[in-house]
Amino acid sequence: EDTSSLQKKIEGLPEIIGSSARLRSSGVVSYQGKEVGTVIYGIDPGDESQVTHLESAMLSGEFISRPDRGEIILGREVSGGYGALMESKSLGGVEVGDTVNVKIEGVNRKFRVKGIYSTLYSNTDSSAYINKADMEEILGVKNRANEIAVKTT
């Protein structure tokens, strides 16, 4: 069953406010000779905004939007700066507008940093998010997800 059909079923339940199908993969983000291994999520930004507060957690720049391709938001533990707790394991202070290299399953792509966020949750702040369409292209899949986040009443 494809992700869209499953999401429609989930959202048909009375206690569900919204859902976000995510493609998740391990990857490496690099910038000026520094590398950070991290979890990278491919999301539909509109759906994600319905289930998490990530959009309101932006420290700098903006949350990605549906038409954004080739853009990434980084948790502060990946970017560095902004009070990152593990500064030595970060990219050392990447800023909005910088271009980073992202390697997922052997595929290298350049992404422009659109925003940097902090949720104060270590795992989330040690991740990155790109548009699901970019992740589908990199992984060679369509209408699939590793997980579906839901928000209930």
Mean pLDDT of 65-93: 92
11 Cβ neighbours under 8 A, 6+ residues apart: 18, 19
pLDDT, tens digit (0-9, with 9 covering 90-100), for 25-59? 999 999 999 999 999 999 999 999 999 999 999 99
At 3, the pLDDT band (50, 70, 90 cuts) reads: confident
Rg (CA), the chain: 15
pTM of the full predicted structure?
0.93
Q: Which among 129, 96, 152 is positioned nearest to 29, based on CA atoms?
A: 129
Question: What is the Cα–Cα distance from 97 to 114, expressed in whole angstroms?
Answer: 6
Share of the chain above pLDDT 90, in %: 78
Share of the chain above pLDDT 70, in %: 99
Mean pLDDT of 121-146: 94
Q: DSSP alpha helices (H): ranges in the chain?
A: 3-11, 45-51, 76-79, 122-125, 132-139
Mean pLDDT of 139-145: 92
pLDDT value, residue 68:
85
Domain ranges of the chain: 22-142
